[in-house]
Amino acid sequence: MNDATDILGTAERWMAEGRRLALATVIETWGSAPRPVGSHLVIDDAGGFEGSVSGGCVEGAVIAEALDAISTGEPKMLEFGVADETAWQVGLSCGGRIRVFVERLG
């Protein structure tokens, strides 16, 4: 079983428990990125989460946007990119960029 399957299994369990959820998925990367396309992060409406789409400040921003998506039902397309001098501070290495799709489940 791979990481993506584990996260999707978690989402399935959490939904069965009646939690309101969002799923964030890495859909595109450029340059160096800490997580590959297809990586998932599942977030519940209490701010609980499992998985990873990047790490660092990017993950915190994705969680905040996911909470909004849970509340409004509106999906979001997020893009994060950094200059080389700030890359490590936000969890992207060597100027990498990522695009993350966030959607409410259920």
**What mean pLDDT value characterizes the chain?**
86
* % of the chain beyond a pLDDT of 70: 82
Residue 62 class from Cβ within 10 Å (0-12 exposed, 13-18 middle, 19+ buried)? buried
11-45 residue pLDDT tens? 999 999 999 999 999 999 988 778 899 999 999 99
Query: Count of alpha carbons within 13 Å of 57, Cβ hemisphere only?
Result: 11
Would you list the domain boundaries of the chain?
A: 3-105
> Left (φ > 0), alpha (ψ -120 to 50) or beta: where does 40 sit?
beta
